[in-house]
Structure formats: structure tokens, C-alpha cells
Amino acid sequence: MLDTLRKGASSLVAKILFAILVISFAIWGIGDIFRGPGRQSVVAQVGDQKISGQMLLSAYNRYLEQLRPMFGGRLDSEQAKKLGFPQSVLQHMAEQAVFDQAAQDLGLAVSDATIRRKIESEPAFKGPGGTFDEFTFRQTLMRAGFTEEAYVAEIRKDMARQALIGTIRGSGEAPTNMADALYRVHDEKRMADAATVLDTSMPDPPEPTEAQLETYHKDHAAAFTAPEYRTVTFLTLTAAELAKDIPVSDEELHKAYDEDKGRFTVPERRTIRQIVTGNEADAKRAEAMLAEGKDFAEVAKEVANEDKDAIELGTLAETQLPKDLAGPVFTLPSDGVSKPIKTALGWHILKVVAIKPGSVKSFDDVRDSLRQEVAVDRARDRVDKLANQVDDTLASGASLEEAAQKLGLTAQTVDAVDSRGHDRDGKPIAGLPGGSFLTTAFSSPEGKATQLTEIPHDGYFVLRVDKITPSALRPLAEVRDVVVSAWRGEQRHLAAKARAQEIADKIRSGKSLSEVVSDYGIEVNTIGPFQRSEKETLPETVIKTLFQDKVGEAATGETKDGYVVAQLREIVPADPAADKDGVAAIQKQLDRAFGMDYLVEYGAALESRYPIKVNTKAFDALFANP
């Protein structure tokens, strides 16, 4: 029956997504008991282990919640069923139940003391003080509909299963010579000489014929196809726009300035160093040494064992220091040193290294920006009232233009806008509303005004699509210059490819790259040493070929602006004996992989020993459409 489940869960999407979430299945049983009771029918059974409808639905709903963000929040139950998620969840639970049964038959036991420690470490059971709370524990279980005995039984089973899985997985050990061999392959490096044949270095091709242009235009239609354009008429209601017509008196501005003067004030800031000691005696000793003229950093090191970085507090305002320190520090002159100050953290001696005076922006400095702020603030109330008037006017049958005229607004029309907000020349159109304006414009039918739509933190817009110009291939006559330029670029690129191949052929006849390219005036650079994973200096296809070549052989590859020719210069073998840490890291990865293989094989053997019985009627009923 498990094979049937696997076929139902065999979609590529299901496999990938459950591979991503597989770690979460490791301790499934415990987290899910807090999801609340559900259907009690048995959906699957392995020996003494039963999977109820409640358990399956709980796990299934949990994983739908985790998967929804990967689908942009739009994964519904029907899509999940089509992708085989119910079968995948049950398959994982059934495989887990096989291990539960094996742990039970092996007599794996977990002591009460271990279980208690596990429970006391559970965050859900911690009280206000951050430690385990008996009352919180019992209340949490009661709200979830479980008794203490049932919970303890679940956690006991879970820990036994994890002990079995950990033992099998931890027994993986790969042969050491395998790690050495992989290290030699992975860390082998190579060096190469490389030269790039640039497209721009190729001579201009002859003038294209009309037939050539027509063919190129047709074969590269996507590059010359205009996007869908829409002619849109719209109204916007924003506080910033309405604020332009709202007068603000000097009296109002002075009042706003005085009420919010702190916003225009830059406080005095001081660059401060400090020495902190644990007792008064050390603080007094440091004070005396400083009074003798000793360097502050040297005293900090000798008395408090503080390094130079530790004594720097930075440049701070008075409000950024504790009150016990702020007062004394902000009465000191530049280069002044405080007396020892006691706080809850110890004894402090502070030095003022520099003083940056505070400043206050004058009323005239902020008049214009303040006028805009006050006007916008007053306009916000008008936006909502005006939005209601626009709604009512449109609902009465008025057009956008009529509504605009009646309410003293301006209707704007954009002759052609694409879905990115660009015009026919591909330039961004200024002044379009934000928010969902473009989405709304390109999802609305022609000739009908939309609902008034909010622009987050700004206002509202309403629009009407006046004309839809479908996406279409631009005629050759319209884009001839662009087509000619593109055709020439392709011809130069093909010529660069042919030149690169010609160079590679000469290298294969026994010449060096430097000898060959000297005839073409191309510069040669030595690349490397590099590994197989190198992606920056040479195209991936060239790297791959060079790691298959012998010294002296050549490879060519395409770049964004031409073709590169590389000749293998040197092979730098990897020495496992010289990098024990690197080999150890590979050995660890191999051991982990072997452990997972052991676990998979052990799981397959257990499935043969403990057949999985699935109640297909109960399963189908659980996920049937309501």
C-alpha cells in the first residue's frame, strides 16, 4: 500500500518541497498534539502504531501553512491535493511509525528523569520568569485537549524513535581513501593562458540585404515586439496634492515650530572614553595615575585590563548615557577627566576627548518644509471627504472628467503606458500614482471606471482604460535602424567566434596561444590557479573543458562581448596530506551521507518487517470535497 502512496506523491513539486521540509518531520509527533482534536478514524497502522485522522489532518494543515509562502500565499487545498501533498504527508508519517514500532520491539526505553528534563526545557511550558511552570504546563495541555499521561506517552515514543534514528545515522563511516580521492578531485587547480576575441575588434560586415533583414526581423521577433499598451484616464487624491491649495499663516507656522522645537535641535555630543573597575580602590589608583599625567589607555590596561577598543564609548548625546554618568560628563571641559563615579556596573572614570556643540535650526531655515508638513496634515482630512464625494459622483453616472470638473480636480490621461509604467520609447512615465495603479490598469476592462482604490500612506486613485493596444511585432520599416544595428552586432559576434575557433585550431597544431594571437594584436593573460568551481574569470564551459584537457590543449567559450580562447598551462595537483582540515571536512560530509544511506536502507528493511496498512476509505473520506 505504501507503493500506492508513493505513486500519489510522486510529483516533482511534491518531492522538492518535502525535501525542503524534511527536517521538520524529525520530531513531528510532539508539536502536533497542540493542534487540537480532530477525526478519530484510523487512517494507517503499523504493528501497534496507529495514525488517526486527527493526527494526519493536523500534520497536513501544518505543512500547508509552511508551504503557502512558497506559492505566494495562494496554495489552496485543491492545488495541494493535485500535487499529491496528502499522500506525501501520510507517507512520511507511516515511515515514522515504522521506526516507532522498531524502537518498541527493541525495548528502547527513556527514563522518567530524561522525559522530565525534556518537558522542563519546552518553551511552551515556561512561565513569566522564563523557567518551567507547573501551572502553565497543565493549562497548555488542557487547552490542547490532552492529559498529562497522553503527552508523556507521546514524548517518550518520540525520544525513543530519535534514539534509534540517531544510532543508525551516526554509524555511517566512509573509507578514508574515499575522502582523499575526493579531495584530490575537488581541490586540484589549473592554470591557463587566455585571450578574448572581442566583437568590437571584428571589421564591419557588408551592408545587409533586404532579405537578410527580413529574416533577422522574423527570427528575432521577440526583440522587436512592442508590449501591450493602454490609454488610461485617471484621478488622484493625495494629501500632498491637495496641500498645494491650503493656505498656512505665519502664526500657525510659529506655533508648530515652538511645539516641535526639539525636532529641529541637534544636541551637543561628546566623544568619551571610560575606565571601569570592580572596586573603589582600583578606581582611586587609576585616578591618581591619571593625575600624574599617565596615558588614559595605558592606565586602563594596567588597572582594569581594558584594551583600546574597550575604552571607547563613542560620540554620544547626554540622553544616551545613564543619568549617573551624563551629569558629570557633560560638565567637563574638553580633555577633562571625571572623578570615580559609582554605578550598578562598577566604578567609572570618564574622559571627554572632543566636544561637538549642539545647534538649533532657525524658524527661517525650516519655514518652507514646515509649511508643507502643516498643509499636508490638514489635507489628510480633506482627502477622505473628497474621496467619498468622488465615489458618490461616479455612482450617480458621471464620467471621470465630469466628476473632476464638478469637484475642482484634474483628470489626467496617459496616451500609452505599458505594464512597467514606461511609454512607447521605453522611458518611465512621471507622475503615475503608486500602489496598485499599474496592476489595476492592466486588469481592468476597457471603457469602465474602476472602484476608488487606496494608495498606501498617500491617498486614492480611480481610473478608466480608454484603449487597449495589443502586443504586436513592430513592422520592419518602423524598427529598421534597430534591426540593422542588431544584425551587425550578431555578424561581429559570429566573426569573433570564427576567429576564436581559428586560434584554437592553430594551438592544436602545436603552437602556443601567445604565438598565435600576436598576429591579431590580442593580449594574453595568465589565469589561475583556479578550481573546478571557478565562475568569475572564465566561462563555465571553458573551465569544464580545461579540467578534461592535457597541458597545451585549448578550449573556447562565449562571453557577453566576444569569445575567449584558453590554453591549459599547468596542472596543480591537490595534496591531501598538506590539508588535514580540508580532508577532515570532506570525511565528515561523507560520513553523514553514509549515515543517511544506512538509515534509508534500514528503513526499507523495517518496512518489509512491519507492513503498512492503509485504510483507503478513511483516507479518501478525509480529503474528499465537502
- Report the amino acid identity of residue 338: S
> Cα separation of 411 and 233, whole Å?
7
Rounded Cα–Cα distance for residues 28 and 565 (Å): 55
Q: Which three cell numbers stand for residue 192?
A: 591557463
Pairing verdict, β 554-559 and 189-198? unpaired
| Angle CA 20–25–26, to nearest 5 | 115
Angle 37-40-44 from CA coordinates, rounded to 5°:
120
Indicate if the alpha-carbon torsion angle 177, 179, 180, 186 is positive or negative: positive
346: left (phi over 0), alpha (psi -120 to 50) or beta: left
- The one-character DSSP state at 2 is H
Residue 558's CB is within 10 A of a number of other CB atoms, namely: 15
The CA distance from 554 to 514, in Å, is: 12
Q: Which helix (H) or strand (E) holds 45?
A: strand 42-46
Q: What fold characterizes domain 268-357?
A: Chitinase A; domain 3 (3.10.50)
**Beta strand 346-356 pairing with 269-277:** antiparallel
The phi and psi torsions of 299 (rounded to 5 degrees) equal -65, -40
pLDDT of residue 40: 59
Between CA 337 and CA 328 the distance in angstroms is 10
Q: Given 3.30.1600, 1.10.4160, 3.10.50, 2.30.30, which CATH number is that of 229-245+370-470?
A: 3.10.50
3-state secondary structure of 36: coil
Q: How far apart are CA 272 and CA 270, in angstroms?
A: 6
Q: What is the DSSP letter of 427?
A: P
Residues for the chain: how many in total? 626
Q: Where are the domains of the chain?
A: 2-171+599-622, 189-216+482-572, 229-245+370-470, 268-357
pLDDT digits (tens, 9 = 90+) for 401-432: 999 999 988 999 999 999 999 999 889 999 89
According to the model, what pLDDT value does residue 118 have?
87
DSSP class per residue in 290-351: HHTT--HHHHHHHHH---HHHHEEEEEEGGGS-HHHHHHHTTSPTT-BPPPEEETTEEEEEE
Taking the CB of residue 402, how many other CB atoms lie within 10 A of it? 14
The Cβ of residue 535 has, within 10 Å, a number of other Cβ atoms equal to: 9
DSSP at 244? G
Measured CA to CA, the distance from residue 415 to residue 424 in angstroms comes to 9
Q: Look up residue 608 and give its three cell numbers.
A: 518489509
The answer to whether 153 and 112 are in contact (CB under 8 A) is: no
Q: Which DSSP string do the residues of 175-232 spell out, in sequence order?
A: -HHHHHHHHHHHH-EEEEEEEEEEGGGSPPPPPPPHHHHHHHHHHTGGGGEEPPEEEE
> Are the C-beta atoms of residues 236 and 433 closer than 8 Å to each other?
yes
Given a contact cutoff of 8 angstroms between Cβ atoms, the answer to whether 306 and 276 are in contact is: yes
Spatial distance between the Cα atoms of 500 and 493, rounded to a whole number of angstroms? 11
Residue whose cell numbers read 471603457: 447
CB atoms within 10 A of CB 28: 18
Q: What is the sign of the dihedral through the CA atoms of 441, 442, 447 and 451?
A: negative
Assigned CATH topology for domain 189-216+482-572? Chitinase A; domain 3 (3.10.50)
Measured in whole angstroms, the distance separating CA 238 from the mean position of its chain's CA atoms is 33
Residues of the chain with pLDDT under 50: 1-39
Cα three-residue angle 115-121-124, rounded to 5 degrees: 110
Q: Hey, do 229-245+370-470 and 268-357 end up sharing a CATH topology, with the first three levels equal?
A: yes
Pick among 1.10.3470, 1.10.4030, 3.40.720, 1.10.10: CATH of 2-171+599-622: 1.10.4030
pLDDT in tens, 549-567: 899 999 999 999 999 999 9
Hey, what amino acid is at 548?
Q
User: Tell me, what DSSP letter sits at residue 572?
Assistant: E
Q: Residue 351: which of 306, 381, 414 has the closest Cα?
A: 306
pLDDT of residue 13: 39
* Cβ neighbours, 10 Å, residue 148: 12
pLDDT at 216: 95
- Amino acid in the structure at residue 250: D
- Does residue 235 contact residue 452 with C-beta atoms inside 8 Å? no
Element (H, E) at 589: helix 580-609
